[in-house]
Structure 1
Amino acid sequence: MNTETTRTAQTPETKRTNEAVVLTARREGVLVITLNRPHVRNAVDQALARAVDAALTLLETDPDLEAGVLTGAGGHFCSGMDLKAFPDEGVPRVADRGLAGLTRARRSKPLIAAVEGAAVAGGFELVLACDLITAADTAFFALPEVARGLIASEGGAIRLPGRLPHHLAVEMLLTASPLAAADAARHGLVNRLTGEGEALDAALALAARVRAHSPQAVRITRQVVEVTRGLDAAAAFAVQDPLTAPVFDTASAAEGALAFSEKRPPAWTP
């Protein structure tokens, strides 16, 4: 198993400990991106935002990488925007790609959130921007922005009502109430609920299942889900069909059919 680790985006606070604010590791075609400011529950400042954006760019551009996992160090996922840095740095967005280069980004490869501990405020918005979610049974989610005089404007107020029952989502947004991972799983927000310390392994297992299938079909399927959300059926088919029609004439489609008839695993090409 390839577990090459890369240290990126050192800042004065991290140079003292020779640690980077984001760590990346390759694991058999999967890029594990670890938020690494555990002393502040991985709060997002500008340095961390730029480092996550660089890691996501690597995931998108490297043909050997087929999926990503986003997680946090030190027993927590992310406590959101670094409020101590906010007066000087503002919201840690990257260009037009949103918080940490993720919440408004256009992506083509699956990204899985592996959540331990707190995923709150902008941290929860990073989770909501991912395609799949694994979480330890000790994890919890919250959007407490209204308690800070702020708004969950990096996808929280937009995405959460479509992921949970409407009134539960609105209650979280208006009261800053937390949601335990077990309750999130019960409502379908979490794909895999694990024991403490096991969310990353569950995310890697999900990534392996994704990687077993045609990379092209996975990318296009993910794109269809993204671009048709909220459309009525007629509009959704009109957007979907130009994306999916060419896939049926590809080598991957032919290989999938042939492998099925020959009762063997398909040999996919990128």
Structure 2
Amino acid sequence: MSDEVLVERRGAVQIITLNRPEAKNALNSAVAEGIAAAIDELDEDDELRVGVLTGAGGTFCSGMDLKAFLRGESPVVPGRGLGGLTLRPPRKPLIGAVEGWAVAGGFELLLACDMVVASATAHLGVPEVKRALVAGAGAALLLTQRIPQAIALELLLTGDPISAERAATLGLVNRVTAEGHALDEAVALASTIAANGPLAVAITKDIARNASDWTATERWDKQAELMEPVFTSEDAREGASAFAEKRPPVWKGR
């Protein structure tokens, strides 16, 4: 892991920090590969339950590093997408914690997250059209699925950013905090999720994320197929036992 992406643990929560504050945490190849490696660690380590993605220096991410791009670098990891994330998000929940600006590719990283916590002074947007580009790392494809089409088109076609409060009203942001507190609030949210059964959390995310791609005739069967290992797991028995015995559960992830 390079110094351009920092990874730490707070209990069962992994914190991934984009660490190029001098470049507004713009995405270059090192950052993309660092995020991809961190996501692999999140999914492979049973002690980690939830990830939080944030940026250093009061900015989340300003998008692709155009200077690095001109040098021939790519912020896309093959098979993983922009920032090593947009095409293949983690199996476990990922929360974006936003201070300052999350624009262009930085905004598209947030669309790959499952939840977003932003400070009141944060701004989000997709200014690609202002540079004669297309928001091709997820915004043009996904934004109309997340918010009303007319509003999504306004954001995509004007390129103008919106405030965290406006983003929360639209449903793009879960929680708005005072400036400087987005990471702490995101970790608190992640810790609440991490206290739940890890198998159930991962499968619930899988169903919720993918159900829209299933036809009406197949969705119940697909859900049942995914759920069956959860209901026959040791954790399911532990959850029932802990409830009956009025004690905290001890999850094993199996």
Normalized against structure 2, the TM-score is what?
A: 0.95
**TM-align CA RMSD:** 1.4
1:106 Cα deviation after fit: 4.7
Shift of 1:246: 2.3
Mapped partners of 1:80, 1:236: distance in 2: 36
Tell me what 1:121 maps to. 104
State how far apart, in whole Å, the 1-side matches of 2:26 and 2:221 are. Answer: 41
| Residue 265, structure 1, aligned to residue 239, structure 2 | no
Structure 1 runs not aligned, ≥5 long: 1-7, 10-19
Matched, 1:228 2:211: yes
Aligned partner of 2:31 among 48, 51, 57: 48
The equivalent position to 1:171 in structure 2, one of 154, 157, 160, is: 154
Deviations 1:21-80 (A, max 9, x none): 111111101111100111111000111111111111111222221111100001000000
* 1:5 matched residue in structure 2: none
SS of the residue 1:64 aligns to: coil
Gaps of 5+ in 2: none
Give the distance between the partners of 2:171 and 2:89, measured in 1 at CA.
Answer: 24
User: What letter is aligned with 2:238?
Assistant: E
Q: Does 1:93 align with 2:51?
A: no
More off after superposition, 173-182 vs 80-89? 80-89
Q: Equivalent residue for 1:37?
A: 20
Q: Which residue identity is paired with 2:165?
A: A
Greater shift after overlay, 179-188 or 72-81? 179-188
Determine the C-alpha separation between the residues in 2 that align with 1:90 and 1:143.
21
Q: Report the Cα distance in structure 1 between the residues aligned to 2:114 and 2:235, rounded to whole angstroms.
A: 23
Higher relative contact order (CA 8 A, sep 6+): 2
Question: Partner residue of 2:130?
Answer: 147
Alignment of 1:176-187 (within 5 A): 176-187=159-170
Q: What does 1:235-254 correspond to in 2, within 5 Å? A: 235-254=218-237
> Which of 119, 122, 125 pairs up with 1:136?
119
Write the distance in 1 (CA, Å) between the matches of 2:112 and 2:158.
22
Q: Which residue of 1 aligns with 2:87?
A: 104
CA distance in 2, matches of 1:60, 1:112: 14
SS of 2:52's equivalent in the other structure is: strand
Query: What SS does the aligned partner of 2:82 have?
Result: coil
| 8 A contact 1:46–1:89 mirrored in 2 | no
Deviation at 1:90, TM superposition (A): 5.3
Q: Aligned partners of 1:36 and 1:169: how far apart in 2? A: 30
Deviation at 1:235, TM superposition (A): 3.1
The amino acid that maps onto 2:141 is I
| DSSP 3-state at the match of 2:97 | strand
Deviations 1:73-104 (A, max 9, x none): 01000000011122233541111100111001
Say whether the 8 Å CA contact 2:42–2:90 is kept in structure 1. no
Given that 1:143 and 1:172 are in contact with CA atoms closer than 8 Å, whether structure 2 keeps it comes out as yes
Q: Equivalent pairs: percent with the same residue?
A: 51
Cα distance in 2 between the residues matched to 1:159 and 1:236: 21
Alignment correspondent of 1:64: 47
Residues 81-90 or 102-111, more deviating: 81-90
Q: Which residue of 1 aligns with 2:177?
A: 194
Bigger Cα displacement from structure 2, 248-257 vs 32-41: 248-257
CA distance in 2, matches of 1:47, 1:257: 45
Contact 2:89/2:113, CA 8 A, preserved across alignment: no
Aligned equivalents of 1:87, 1:228: Cα separation in 2: 39
Q: Tell me the residue number matched to 2:190.
A: 207
1:255 equivalent in structure 2: 238
Q: Bigger shift: 238-247 or 85-94?
A: 85-94
Q: Which moved more, 1:238-247 or 1:190-199?
A: 238-247
Structure 2 contact 176–182 (Cα < 8 Å) conserved:
yes
Partner SS for 1:171: helix
Runs of 4+ deviating beyond 4 Å:
none
- Aligned residue for 1:39, secondary structure, equals helix
